[in-house]
Amino acid sequence: GRLMLSDVGQGEAVAAGVLSLCGQLVYKSRADEAWRLQCDAMVSDVAKLPVPPNLAGDWVAQRRHTMGVLVALAREVSHSVPLHNSAVEALRDMADSRAACEDMVGHGVLPVLAKWLERVVPDEHATAKAWLMQTQRSAAMTVALVALQPHLRPVVVQEGCVEA
Q: Over the stretch 20-58, which tens digit does the pLDDT of each residue have?
A: 888 888 888 776 778 878 888 888 777 775 455 555 445
Torsion of CA 25, 156, 70, 28, to 10 degrees: 0
Residue 146 lies in a domain: yes
Separation between Cα atoms, residue 8 and residue 3, nearest integer Å = 8
pTM over 0.75: yes
Residue 163 lies in a domain: no
The CATH number covering residue 27 comes to 1.25.10
How many domains in the chain? 1
Full domain range(s) for residue 154: 2-158
Average pLDDT over residues 114-135: 85
What counts of helices (H) and strands (E) characterise the chain?
9, 0
Residue 75 lies in a domain: yes
Residue 3 reports pLDDT greater than 60:
no
pLDDT attached to residue 84: 78
Residue 20 lies in a domain: yes
Residue 134 lies in a domain: yes
pLDDT attached to residue 60: 45
Residue 83 reports pLDDT greater than 80:
no
pLDDT attached to residue 59: 42
Residue 126 lies in a domain: yes
